[in-house]
Structure 1
């Protein structure tokens, strides 16, 4: 049986590693990255020592399994709670806060100040200075209602 076409060179492993890394861009899932890294390491080993194709494939297989295991440990777990759950949803973090109206609500639209930012609000018509409670956020607009008596949180 002619196995010459199985003969792999270190450059072949580099090409395979590169292809796997490029495929990761189009098929995201963070698993092809680790296989690509295993291909590159196999190529480096191939430059260091000459190995038959069977040994190269075995080394690649072992490195691929190890790389995937290491990659899984380094990657955050799916559904894992973040220490900053509202990082990219700042408006959602304002739900439940009591704020003062900076601009009165007329025709259902007004504004409140949160720190150094003026936020658009929607709710029932109320005068400026009135306390409102943020019910929810719809995009960058806060939906508010009149606040109960108590101390403000902002």
Structure 2
């Protein structure tokens, strides 16, 4: 067992780091990336300073601790950058952008359901029975279902 540690060299750390980063591609979760980076750093430091195997293991353990701390920080940063943009807050939420606008019913609302044409799309609407051609205001959007009220 001690022979394995003695033979730990630069190339072993670099290969180990590359394998961990490749595993990250197969099972994404950000964690293996940081451990692979720690192994690569130990490999690069081994090229520069040629430390003993004990120091290599200690360096990897130290970098792995930083990796454990980096994972939640990285996830928080990624979550913050995924916030809706201020330039276009309704991007990928087209129905939410329709709330408050008025349109003309294409088909009457009978039994609580009807349709309205918005640009080149026909949307299903729900609301009180209303004849076709009436103006309605969208008061709520739930996915592709719009709720309307008389305008």
TM-aligned CA deviation for residue 61 of structure 1: 4.7
Greater mean deviation of Cα atoms: 124-133 or 16-25: 16-25
Normalized against structure 1, the TM-score is what? 0.64
User: 1:6: which partner in 2?
Assistant: 5
SS in structure 2 at match of 1:126: coil
CA change 1:87–1:53 in 2 (3 A) is farther
For 1:1-154, list aligned pairs within 5 A.
3-7=2-6, 8-10=8-10, 12-13=12-13, 14-15=15-16, 18-19=19-20, 22=23, 26=27, 28=29, 30-43=30-43, 46=46, 50-61=50-61, 63-64=63-64, 65=66, 72=73, 75-78=77-80, 81-83=83-85, 84-147=88-151
Normalized against structure 2, the TM-score is what? 0.65
> Hey, what's the Cα distance between the residues in 2 that align with 1:10 and 1:3?
17
CA change 1:27–1:80 in 2 (3 A) is closer
The question of whether the paired residues in 1 share the 8 Å contact of 2:123 and 2:146 is answered with yes
Deviations 1:82-112 (A, max 9, x none): 2144333322332222222222222222222
* Higher helix proportion: 2
Gapped runs of 5+ residues in structure 2? none
Deviations 1:51-101 (A, max 9, x none): 422332344355553896599469334497421443333223322222222
